[in-house]
């Protein structure tokens, strides 16, 4: 075990897989010589060479499109899109090609591409460096979608994603790259060494896709969330002085319905939280799933705490971000409902 | 607003009712273009993007330095494949008109490109076809019964009923899966060739798109990546003059040839007479030699003409002169190869007619076999349970439940 930030844990996952599997290659903007704008690939090109850690032109559609072809030719590409906000030029390649290749070819062709991309707000990124577009991908058939909330999960889930023969879009909440963040920007930044998720084995291990983590156990309500919001939810629950199940979905697709179900059947009350805006967001799917599975156990309407339905504003970042106060208001709504 | 400030709307040289006019096409004489060493630096052969490599002259005689040495038996086989493709297209077009299949796309007039290029590539090379490369499937060994079964979405359909007609693939022939989204295969081909280079193998890849699709971003991504990494890839633009109703000027082809699109990136471009099988073969062999021996991509523009409709869903007489193909200065690729083989004493009109008749019967027999595996309306039918397979490698629980839901509802109904 050693202490790692999420960046170091992702770097370690890539290092482990580059070492273990000679077919793994990395492709992305600034990832090679420089080591990535967030340093996730730091040192890897030097260690594995320019043929395995490849700097790419600024063309996200080209990165994903060529990664598909690389994958069809027997290699296992991990593509980095520098910000999730930049992934859109590659959407046609993801939606029409990557997600559907196995299906449309009757199982004869597939391409095991993992697309890594930093997402989420809280870094003064404005509307082009703060988005959480996961719902665009969870809606697709043929692709898995993952978002870890701590270094340990990031490494284990990324290794599973790379090993999977199904394509994965792997979102990395960049606000928690260097430390957990509870939603309060005025507090001094915390280090991952203060969090159990910062303990990360140096070698190989994997966490299967499709398993949620119960981060905290309690009886008053179930909070279902993922990414940075896991930490915000924990802080809000502490502040409220209540006892709650906090479930980190981790793997958005495939979704661990059973864990959600067991929790809400126990608590009878449910709050869903994510950074992305509400309408058509992934929270709608979580809410509908809980309703379908647990309707007769519910004692209150399911509450959603999300970003507003505006683009992510630069000047009003902390008014946009669904911080502790919004979660607390949501908790009150759920607990006070008759 | 002055005349100079008006928006330029490209107009084709002829619309329905007009005299066909191909004066816009820059043509070279057969044999006029010099053959450079395949490893010549791109900057020294920029003229190849504007010239037109032609081998067969108007009399069907092979001319000049590009004239390839091909055994007559190989040329006769090429002719057979082109005729077979044309017979297949004719049959399938008629089957669509009779409602037996939902859709079809003919490749009439463009057969020399698929067949001539297919003769150059090895089975281990990877092909990323467009929807008008049926002759390439046939050339690489795909049974026409399998092509028909795909169009029928029947129990032998390689796509398991998941794609509309003509979206074939053939894993064992290294023919990639055709997508309905245009130009997406271009970056795939570049990526495949990158992997080939990463692995230190000498396999090449090749991709095809039409003149219209060069407007897609994927074309430009692919060219950029090909220029940056210099993988062994042959990128083809089949300039058949027409997208559906828009002519090649709407893809930006009015001022510079498509072969020149790579020049700003240092990718050599070669413009070739796409209706001249010998020229297509020679240029492709040149590009493959370049890819294998000196590395790097080549962009080939095949100048041809779309002899039929875009698909069974459009009527070309609504947007271009009915007799335009007959006025096309590069003629019909089948007729030109036939003329060459007759001229060189290896073929005759009688043999040609007999072969055509034989292939017609081959296609009829293939169709009979294909429909024995079912049609869209007649048994045997695909098992609807297979609809949930291959979305992921393993069928997830959610899809298993949805499959059961469907079966329950169907069971309750019957």
C-beta separation of A14 from A40 below 8 A: yes
Same-domain check for residues A29 and A123: yes
- Evaluate whether residue A100 is within a structural domain: yes
Please confirm, yes or no, whether A129 is among the known catalytic residues: yes
pLDDT of residue A338: 72
Nearest CA in chain B to A143: B392
Asked if the structure places residue A207 within a domain, the reply is no
The residue behind tokens 């990031």 is A154
Establish if A328 belongs to a structural domain.
yes
Question: Which pLDDT value is given to residue B78?
Answer: 98
Instruction: Please tell me whether residues A190 and A217 are part of one structural domain.
Output: no
Dihedral pair phi/psi, residue A78, rounded to 5° = -115, 110
Position A164 pLDDT exceeds 70: yes
List the CATH number of the domain containing A279: 3.40.50.920
Out of A129, A195, A231, A274, which one is annotated catalytic? Answer: A129
**The pLDDT value given to residue A292:** 97
Listed residues A152, A172, A200: the one ending a domain: A200
Task: Give the residues across from A23 on adjacent strands.
Answer: none
Contact, B336 vs B60, CB < 8 A?
A: yes
Residues of B whose CB is below 8 A from A61: 187, 217-218, 221
- In the stretch 149-208 of chain A, residues with CB closer than 8 A to chain B read 164-166
Looking at the structure, tell me whether residues A178 and A263 fall in a common domain: no
Contact A259, A212 (CB under 8 A): yes
- The model's pLDDT over B273-283, given as tens digits with 9 standing for 90+, comes to 999 999 999 99
Q: What's phi and psi for A227, nearest 5 deg?
A: 70, -145
State how far the Cα of A144 lies from the Cα of A169, in Å rounded to an integer.
Answer: 6
Chain A and chain B share a number of CB contacts under 8 A equal to 142
Subunit contact A103:B199, Cβ cutoff 8 A: no
DSSP A203: S
Find, among A7, A80, A5, the residue nearest to A38 by Cα. Answer: A7
Question: Do residues A69 and A174 both lie within one domain?
Answer: yes
Contact B218 A65 (CB under 8 A): yes
Angle A266-A271-A272 from CA coordinates, rounded to 5°:
120
Q: Which residues 228-257 of A have a C-beta within 8 angstroms of B?
A: 254
| Same domain assignment for residues A232 and A317 | yes
Angstrom distance (rounded) from CA A95 to CA A136: 10
Locate A241 and state its tokens.
């002085």
Task: With respect to residue A300, please indicate whether it lies within any of the assigned structural domains.
Answer: yes
Which chain B residues are closer than 8 Å to A254 by Cβ?
Answer: 396-398
A19 touches chain B (CB under 8 A): no
If asked whether residues A28 and A146 sit together in one domain, one would say yes
Positions in chain B whose pLDDT score sits under 70: 1-3
- Please name every residue paired with A223 in a beta bridge, in sequence order, or none if there are none: A246, A271
Q: What CATH number corresponds to the domain at position A56? A: 3.40.50.970
Domain that holds residue A144: 2-200
Q: How far does the CA of residue B352 sit from the closest CA of chain A (Å)?
A: 37
Residue A78 lies in a domain: yes
- Out of A93, A109, A164, the one facing B176 most closely (by C-beta) is A109
The answer to whether residue A26 scores a pLDDT higher than 60 is: yes
Residue A205 lies in a domain: no
Residues A164 and A93 in one domain: yes
CA distance B132 to B327: 22
Tell me: do A41 and A134 sit in the same domain.
yes
Distance CA B154, CA B164 (A): 12
Picking from A64, A89, A96, the nearest residue to B179 by CB comes out as: A96
- Measured between beta carbons, which residues in chain A are less than 8 angstroms from residue B389? 107
Are A25 and A82 part of one and the same domain? yes
A307: left (phi over 0), alpha (psi -120 to 50) or beta: beta
pLDDT confidence of A203, banded at 50, 70, 90?
A: very high
Same-domain pairing of A168 and A243: no
- Say whether B392 and A74 touch across the interface (CB within 8 A): no
- Determine phi and psi for A308, rounding to 5 degrees: -70, 165
pLDDT of A316 higher than 60: yes
**CA of A65, closest CA in chain B: separation in Å?**
5
Distance of CA A263 to the CA centre of its chain: 21
Average pLDDT of the residues in A51-69 = 98
**pLDDT tens digit string along A181-192?**
999 999 999 999
CA–CA dist A188, A219 (Å, integer): 31
Residue with token string 């130009």 = B183
Residue with tokens 């032998």: B156
Average pLDDT of chain A? Answer: 97
Q: Do B187 and A69 touch (CB under 8 A)?
A: yes
Nearest-CB residue to B181 (from A56, A96, A105)? A96
A241: pLDDT strictly greater than 80 = yes
């Amino acid at each position: 075990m050693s202490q790692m930030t999420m960046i170091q844990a992702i770097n370690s996952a890539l290092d482990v897989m580059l070492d273990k599997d000679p077919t793994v290659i990395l492709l992305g903007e600034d990832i090679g010589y420089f080591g990535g704008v967030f340093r996730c690939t730091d040192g890897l090109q030097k260690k594995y060479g320019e043929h395995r850690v490849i700097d790419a032109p600024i063309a996200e559609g080209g990165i994903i499109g060529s990664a598909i072809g690389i994958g069809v030719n027997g290699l296992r590409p991990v593509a980095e899109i520098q910000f999730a906000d930049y992934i859109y030029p590659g959407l046609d390649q993801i939606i029409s090609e990557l997600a559907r290749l196995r299906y449309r070819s009757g199982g004869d062709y597939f391409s095991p591409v993992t697309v890594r991309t930093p997402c989420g707000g809280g870094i003064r990124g404005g509307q082009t460096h703060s988005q959480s577009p996961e719902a665009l991908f969870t809606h697709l058939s043929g692709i898995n979608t993952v978002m870890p909330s701590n270094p340990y999960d990031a490494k284990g889930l990324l290794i599973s994603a790379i090993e999977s023969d199904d394509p994965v879009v792997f979102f990395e909440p960049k606000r928690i790259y260097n430390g957990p963040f509870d939603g309060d920007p005025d507090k001094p930044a915390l280090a991952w060494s203060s969090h159990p998720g910062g303990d990360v084995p140096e070698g190989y291990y994997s966490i299967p896709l499709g398993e949620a983590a119960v981060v905290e156990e309690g009886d008053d309500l179930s909070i279902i969330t993922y990414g940075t919001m896991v930490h915000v939810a924990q802080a809000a629950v502490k502040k409220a002085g209540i006892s709650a199940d906090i479930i980190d979905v981790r793997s958005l697709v495939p979704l661990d319905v059973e864990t959600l179900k067991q929790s809400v059947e126990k608590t009878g009350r449910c709050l869903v939280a994510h950074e992305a805006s509400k309408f058509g967001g992934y929270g709608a799917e979580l809410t509908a799933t809980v309703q379908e599975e647990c309707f007769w156990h519910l004692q209150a309407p399911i509450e959603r705490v999300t970003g507003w339905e505006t683009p992510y504003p630069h000047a009003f970042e902390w008014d946009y971000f669904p911080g502790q106060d919004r979660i607390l208001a949501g908790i009150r709504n759920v607990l006070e409902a008759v | 607003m002055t005349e100079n400030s008006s928006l330029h709307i490209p107009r084709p040289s002829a619309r329905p009712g007009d005299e066909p006019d191909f004066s816009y096409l820059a043509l070279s004489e057969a044999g006029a273009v010099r053959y450079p060493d395949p490893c010549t630096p791109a900057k020294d052969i920029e003229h190849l993007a504007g010239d037109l490599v032609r081998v067969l002259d108007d009399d069907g005689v092979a001319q000049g330095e590009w004239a390839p040495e091909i055994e007559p038996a190989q040329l006769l086989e090429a002719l057979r494949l082109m005729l077979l493709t044309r017979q297949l297209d004719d049959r399938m077009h008629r089957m669509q008109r009779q409602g037996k299949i939902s859709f079809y796309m003919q490749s009439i007039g463009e057969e020399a490109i698929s067949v001539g290029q297919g003769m150059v590539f090895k089975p281990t090379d990877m092909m990323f076809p467009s929807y008008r490369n049926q002759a390439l499937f046939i050339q690489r060994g795909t049974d026409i019964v399998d092509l028909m079964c795909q169009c029928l979405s029947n129990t032998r359909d390689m796509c398991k009923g998941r794609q509309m007609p003509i979206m074939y693939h053939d894993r064992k022939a290294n023919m990639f899966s055709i997508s309905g989204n245009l130009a997406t295969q271009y970056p795939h081909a570049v990526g495949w060739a990158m992997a080939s280079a990463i692995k230190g193998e000498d396999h090449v890849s090749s991709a095809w798109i039409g003149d219209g699709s060069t407007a897609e971003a994927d074309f430009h991504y692919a060219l950029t990546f090909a220029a940056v990494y210099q993988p062994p890839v042959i990128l083809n633009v089949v300039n058949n003059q027409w997208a559906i109703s828009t002519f090649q000027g709407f893809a930006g082809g009015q001022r510079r040839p498509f072969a020149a699109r790579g020049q700003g990136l240092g990718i050599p471009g070669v413009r070739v007479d796409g209706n001249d099988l010998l020229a297509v073969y020679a240029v492709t062999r040149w590009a493959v030699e370049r890819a294998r021996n000196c590395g790097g991509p080549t962009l080939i523009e095949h100048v041809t003409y779309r002899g039929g409709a875009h698909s069974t869903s459009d009527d070309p007489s609504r947007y271009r002169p009915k007799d335009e193909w007959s006025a096309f200065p590069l003629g019909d690729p089948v007729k030109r190869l036939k003329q060459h083989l007759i001229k060189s004493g290896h073929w005759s009109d009688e043999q040609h007619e007999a072969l055509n008749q034989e292939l017609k019967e081959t296609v009829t027999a293939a169709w009979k076999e294909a429909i024995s595996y079912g049609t869209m309306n007649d048994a045997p039918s695909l098992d609807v349970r297979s609809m949930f397979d291959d979305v992921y490698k393993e069928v997830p629980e959610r899809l298993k439940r949805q499959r059961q839901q469907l079966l329950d509802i169907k069971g309750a109904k019957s």
